[in-house]
Chains A and B, each alone.
Chain A
Amino acid sequence: MESETLLRKPVPLQSRSIGLSSIALPWQLAALGAILLASTGHLVIKLGLIAAGHEASPAGGRARIIETLFQPAVIGGLAIYGIGTLLWISAVARKNISFLYPLTALNYVIVSVGGKLWFGETISPARWTGIAIVVLGVALLQLSSGEDQ
């Protein structure tokens, strides 16, 4: 009885990670978080660009670029995107890149749907079809997930 308990000592969760111990998130969480944050970052940047456009400044060229870059929503969006990149690094440390990289196609899905919800952009039937195909592809990708060591 006692020896059996000893044998069933739990395997440390991080035994398969490669030593980035302070960014030890499960890869699913890291990858999904990275994709969600990247998409959100893009949408927030768009929010800032709309705000910059609405201010209708007469200045053109360089002044216009600087004004746009310093929109709070543009800075915020870039920051969100940056945090997403840190999570992406954590995911890449744990999973094959040939699996992870195609997952980023979900960005198109989230940004399209986000654009519809936030900005009232229209999604054509063709685009819905494309979105459905991307989701199908990601589902297929999941089926190949277990093959990585």
Chain B
Amino acid sequence: MTPSLALWLSIVLGSCAQIFLKKGVDQKGAGNQTGYARLLRSGWVWLWAFSFFFATALWLVALSKIELSYAFPLLSSGYVIVAVLSMVFLKERISWMRWMAILVICLGVVTTWGSR
């Protein structure tokens, strides 16, 4: 696996993980248990945990070859990916104000890490 493939897989998988988690915590009526213990019964939450783990592992693989100052600005694309996925799979409505906020945050991250 090439380092940049690992990097992009890590970003996409990490974004999917957030969608899985939201699906998991939004599930209703999973027995009488409350709180965190209840979450263990959700397949979505397990999917989140595995995705999170593999995204982290792929991130480490990528970082062993790619410079941090190159990898970090790309990480901010995860905010856009999560926003698009949440529109499609969670039916979240995203106002123009929120899109603008997301783009400004991406710009900020790129500026923070892109200029060495």
Instruction: Assess the B101–A137 pair: CB atoms within 8 A.
Output: yes
Number of interface residues of B (CB under 8 A): 43
Are B92's CB and A98's CB within 8 A? yes
Interface membership of A147, Cβ < 8 A = yes
A98 touches B108 (CB 8 A): no
Nearest Cβ on chain B to A136's Cβ, whole angstroms: 6
Q: B22 touching A141 by the CB < 8 A rule?
A: no
Q: Chain B nearest CB: distance from A68 CB in Å?
A: 13
The answer to whether A133 touches B108, judged by C-beta atoms less than 8 angstroms apart, is: yes
Quick check: is A127 within 8 A (CB to CB) of the other chain?
yes
* Nearest chain A CB to B43 CB, angstrom units: 15
Whether A22 contacts B34 in the complex (CB less than 8 A), given A97-B19, A133-B104, comes out as yes
Contacts of B19 in A (CB 8 A): 97
With A98-B83, A133-B107, A137-B103 known, 13 other A-B pairs at CB within 8 A are A20-B34, A23-B35, A98-B94, A101-B18, A102-B82, A102-B83, A102-B102, A105-B76, A127-B112, A133-B108, A133-B112, A136-B104, A140-B104
The 5 residue pairs across chains A and B that have the minimum distance between CB atoms: A130-B112, A22-B35, A133-B108, A134-B108, A130-B111
